[in-house]
Amino acid sequence: MTGTARSAAESGAGEIRCAGRVLVPGEAEGRVLLLRAPVSLWGGVDPASGRISDPRHPDCGVEVAGRVLAVPDTVGSSSSSAVMLELLREGTTPVALLLGRADAIVALGVLVAGELGYATIPVLEVPGEQLARLAERRVTVARDGTVLGR
């Protein structure tokens, strides 16, 4: 394996800058929703409502649509690519995904959306400790993977 995430966070005057590794390029702006536990999109997020739907998940019921979704870890089903595609097709999608660990299953859903001509979102790998510092901040995500939090 090559390409381990290189990411540096600097904080000063309330501003945070991280360099995420780009899995799917794109630009986005929104408020970070940091999930408190790993999630499987299949069985965990409902594309019709854009909400966390796993009753065992501590964030069950929380809306992911329109947020910069920060996921410390993804687990479970290989159907999560398909759920990601449906979130994008339904327009109930987060505006960006920041993953604590690169996950081809989720990223593939976004890449397929691109092949089908749907609007896509940026997907970045950002180390977990930096995700924690971004929680609830308004951030901009740049094409080069820079995440700027205010």
Partner 1 sequence: MHLSAAERALLNGEGGPAAAMAMRLVAAAGGLLGAERLVEITSAHVDGCLYHGDGGVEFAERLVEGGGRVAVPTTLNVGALDLLHPARVRADAHRAAMARRQMDAYLALGCAPTWTCAPYQVGHRPGLGEQVAWGESNAVVFANSVLGARTERYGDFLDVCCALTGRAPLYGLHLAEHRRATVVVDTSAVRAELKRRPVFYPVLGTWLGLEVGGAVAAVTGLPQDVPEDALKAMGAAAASTGAVGLIHVVGVTPEAPDLETALGGGEPERRIALDGTALRSALDRLSTTRSERVDAVAIGSPHLSLPEARRLRTLVAGRTLRVPFYACTNRAVLGALEDEGAVHDLREAGVDIVVDTCVVVTPILPDGGGVLMTDSGKFAHYGPANTGYDVVYGSLEDCVASAEAGRVIRDEGVWA
Measured between alpha carbons, how far is 121 from 93 in angstroms, rounded to an integer? 8
Six token digits for residue 116: 């089908």
Work out whether 115 is an interface residue with partner 1 (CB under 8 A).
yes
Nearer to partner 1, 69 or 106 (CB): 106
Residue 77 among the catalytic residues:
yes
Catalytic residue among 49, 53, 77, 79: 77
Contacts of 134 (CB under 8 A, 6+ apart): 16, 18, 32, 34, 68, 70, 98, 126, 147, 149
Contact flag: residue 118 with partner 1 (CB under 8 A): yes
Does residue 3 interact with partner 1 by CB under 8 A? Answer: yes
By CB under 8 A, tell whether 122 contacts partner 1: no
User: What whole-number distance in Å separates Cα of residue 60 and Cα of residue 125?
Assistant: 23
Q: Is 71 in the site for partner 1 (CB under 8 A)?
A: no
Nearer to partner 1, 14 or 117 (CB): 117
Place of tokens 């959306």: 113
Q: How far is the CB of 113 from partner 1 (least distance, A)?
A: 7
3-state DSSP assignment of residue 64? coil
Binding residues for partner 1 restricted to 22-41, rule: CB under 8 A: 23-24, 38, 40
